[in-house]
């Protein structure tokens, strides 16, 4: 859950962002982690072992991409960053026919090399700052969006857990907010697989001629606590 304050057209009011909602996320291309930075969960890992991020390790997933197209006479800017210490942002700004987008992935890869299933309790905490802007009385093709997801992906990039933390558009509201987000996420790691635990942020901005749109997401002080506990072996139903 995220709790904080939301600024809309200059009015300050309480905002509570709840888990759930509809829609999904395309988590993009391959997530590459250098071999010397991969975290290995070995066969001799003790029961109830914990990993603190950052602390025991820094985050080994910190990727960024951005693009912009100013069009014929417009302007556009996309920018993003993510650091091993747990900071990230993405922004997109467009005006007069321009378009821009940016995204980041921030988190950790676990190489599960033991032969036993592991129940993993994932505790996540961070500060989320967001801003969404657009021209008053926007045209149909003037829009700014900001999306943030907490996900656990297996080796085939399939989400075994996917929490939509923030899904905002300038059609719904404009302004800024600062929220504290905390989540407890239980998952199951199967033997001999790799898993990516990530915060995935993406912003987009499109502006019609004589109009503007902008969106920004910033994550401050990301912390994760991973607790590993041996799980019972999977059993087949009777008769199979």
Residue 104: which of 123, 86, 122 has the closest Cα?
Answer: 86
pLDDT tens across 65-87, in order? Answer: 999 999 999 999 999 999 999 99
pLDDT at 114 over 90: no
pLDDT at 22 over 50: no
Q: Is 34 a member of any domain?
A: no
- pLDDT score of 134: 97
Q: Is 169 a member of any domain?
A: yes
Ramachandran class of 20: left when φ > 0, alpha when ψ lies in -120 to 50, beta otherwise: left
Q: What CA–CA distance (Å, rounded) separates 201 from 122?
A: 19
pLDDT band, residue 8 (cuts 50/70/90): very low
State percent of the chain over pLDDT 70.
Answer: 82
CA distances from 121 to 49, 188, 229 (A): 11, 9, 8
pLDDT at 128 over 60: yes
- pLDDT score of 7: 33
Q: What integer is the mean pLDDT of 8-17? A: 29
- pLDDT score of 26: 67
Q: Is 126 a member of any domain?
A: yes
- DSSP characters for 3-48? EEEEEETTEEEEEEEPS--S------S-----GGGPEEE-TTPPTT
Q: Is 132 a member of any domain?
A: yes
pLDDT at 2 over 80: no
pTM value is: 0.84
CA distances from 236 to 95, 119, 188, 233, 239 (A): 58, 19, 17, 10, 8
The pair of three-digit structure tokens given for residue 30, joined into one six-digit string: 């391959």
Which domain does 150 fall in, by range? Answer: 2-18+48-230
pLDDT at 240 over 50: no
Q: Is 25 a member of any domain?
A: no
Q: Is 36 a member of any domain?
A: no
Q: Is 103 a member of any domain?
A: yes
pLDDT band, residue 59 (cuts 50/70/90): very high
Counting the structural domains of the chain, the total is 1
Q: What integer is the mean pLDDT of 174-193? A: 93
Q: Is 240 a member of any domain?
A: no
Higher pLDDT, 37 or 82: 82
Q: What is the mean pLDDT of the chain?
A: 85
Q: Under DSSP, is residue 117 helix (H, G, I), strand (E, B) or coil?
A: coil
pLDDT tens across 200-222, in order? Answer: 999 999 999 999 999 999 999 99
State percent of the chain over pLDDT 90.
Answer: 64
Neighbours of 104 (CB within 10 A): 28
Q: What integer is the mean pLDDT of 125-142? A: 96
- pLDDT score of 218: 98
């Amino acid at each position: 859950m995220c709790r904080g304050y939301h600024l809309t057209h200059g009015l300050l009011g309480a905002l509570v962002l709840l888990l759930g909602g509809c829609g999904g996320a395309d988590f993009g291309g391959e997530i590459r982690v250098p071999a010397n930075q991969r975290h290995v969960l070995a066969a001799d890992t003790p029961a109830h072992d914990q990993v603190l991020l950052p602390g025991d390790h820094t985050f080994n997933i910190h990727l960024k991409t951005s693009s912009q197209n100013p069009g014929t006479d417009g302007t556009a800017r996309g920018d993003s960053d993510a650091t091993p210490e747990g900071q990230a942002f993405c922004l997109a700004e467009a005006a007069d026919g321009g378009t821009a987008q940016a995204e980041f992935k921030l988190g950790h890869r676990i190489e599960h090399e033991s032969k036993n299933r592991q129940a993993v309790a994932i505790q996540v905490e961070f500060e989320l700052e967001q801003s969404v802007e657009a021209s008053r009385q926007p045209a149909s093709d003037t829009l700014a969006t900001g999306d943030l997801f907490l996900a656990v992906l297996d080796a085939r990039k399939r989400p075994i857990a996917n929490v939509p933390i923030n899904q905002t558009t300038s059609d719904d509201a404009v302004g800024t907010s600062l929220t504290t987000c905390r989540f407890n996420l239980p998952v199951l790691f199967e033997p001999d697989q790799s898993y990516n635990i990530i915060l995935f942020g993406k912003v987009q901005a499109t502006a019609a001629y004589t109009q503007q749109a902008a969106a920004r997401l910033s994550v401050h002080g990301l912390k994760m606590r991973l607790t590993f506990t041996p799980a019972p072996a999977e059993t087949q139903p009777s008769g199979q």
